[in-house]
Each structure stands twice: as structure tokens, then as C-alpha cells.
Amino acid sequence: MKDFHLPHISTGDIFRKAIADGTDLGKKVKEIIDNGNLVPDEVTDQIVDQRLEQEDVKKADGFILDGYPRNPAQAKALSKFLNSINKKIDAVIYLDASEETVTKRMINRNTGRADDDPNVIPHRIEVAKAQTMPLVDFYQQDGSLKTIKSDSDIETVYAEVKKTISSL
Ligand code: AMP
């Protein structure tokens, strides 16, 4: 994020780069991602743990995880790993938008991603509801959840995200 000098760790970006570079990881995850399913936890957890051990992240005054954790097992793995490096989650930002909004955004962003195909989007939404939504309760209960209503335009949502991070 441009306003914070914090490493931005997006698991989706890491996977897409691996696919573009044709690495073993990319070959392993391409079909899973194109079909809108989640990459297995053991693969994803290891990628995040390795990224969190890199120098730029260690030196920074925090980091932003984007798209991770995506299910309760990943949340537990993250919590265990953060404990082991003496770090903790300051906040979990939940960008709360309707199915209609997220569908429109995926279709309109026009990045050529196979998983933004109108035939794949409904499945991604089902996966998110079944696997990721339980995290809303999980982080609500531990007090770290910050919900941002996200149906409005990108500038308004970004301003809210900025305000939330600045207040931490
Ligand atoms: P994103 O760019 O965050 O929407 O992620 C794109 C795709 O990458 C997802 O639909 C999954 O297939 C995969 N992916 C990204 N993050 C994760 C994660 N934390 N766990 C499993 N799969 C993930």
C-alpha cells in the first residue's frame, strides 16, 4: 500500500507470479487457481512463513497480509508461526461487499485471469462463503476484526482502510 511503507504480501500475487514464471510451484497451483479452488494449506502456509522470514519483512515496522489466511486451519497455522517469531496480529480488515459488488468488480477489472471468468466466479464465491467466512467470527471473537463496508467506490474504501491502519 502506497501510504504505508509496509511489505504487502499477497498470496494470490505470489501464486500468479509463480505461474507466469513457470516454476514448479506455478505448475502445481495453476489448475487449482484457474478453477477457483484454494491451494492446499501446506503449500500456502509454507509460502507465507518463508516470506515472513525474509529480511525486508523482518526489518519493517509490520506487514500486510492480503488474501491470507483464507480458512480456519490457515488462521491457526498463522497464529502458531507468528508466536514462534514473537509477532502478533494487530488487526484483521474485513472488506465487506455484496456478492453483486464483488462479481461486478471481478468481471470489470479485465485482467484476463481465468478465475475471473463469469463461469468460475460463482464457485469462488461459494468457496469464500464456506471456507473464509468462518474467519469473520473467529477474528470477531478475538477482538481483532475491523469491518469496512466496501460496496462504495475504491477511493472511499481505500480512505477507510488507510484510517483503520493509521489508528493501530
Ligand atoms: P486472490 O488474488 O487473493 O483472489 O487469490 C487468487 C487465487 O489464489 C485464489 O482463488 C486461490 O486459488 C489462490 N489463493 C490465494 N490465497 C490463498 C490462500 N490463502 N489459500 C489458498 N489459496 C489461495
What pLDDT does residue 1 have?
Answer: 64
Residue 131 zone, left/alpha/beta (φ > 0; ψ -120 to 50; rest): alpha
Nearest to 165, CA basis, from 60, 62, 57, 52:
62
All structural domains of the chain, each given as residue ranges with its CATH number in brackets, are 8-166 (3.40.50.300)
- Return the SS3 of 129: helix
List ligand 1's pocket residues with C-beta within 6 A: 11-12, 15, 32-33, 36-39, 44, 67-68, 70, 74, 115, 124
Sorting pLDDT into bands at 50, 70 and 90, what band is 110?
Answer: confident
Which residue lies with its CA nearest to atom 8 of ligand 1? 12
What confidence tens digit (pLDDT) does each residue in 136-163 have? 999 999 999 999 999 999 999 999 999 9
Rounded to the nearest 10°, the torsion over CA 25, 26, 27, 28 is 50
What confidence tens digit (pLDDT) does each residue in 78-87 have? 999 999 999 9
Q: Is 105 assigned a ligand-binding role in the annotation?
A: no
Which residue lies with its CA nearest to atom 10 of ligand 1? 36
66 DSSP β-pair partners: 10
Nearest to 87, CA basis, from 141, 9, 15:
9
What confidence tens digit (pLDDT) does each residue in 2-45 have? 788 899 999 999 999 999 999 999 999 999 999 999 999 999 99
Question: Does pTM top 0.75 for this prediction?
Answer: yes
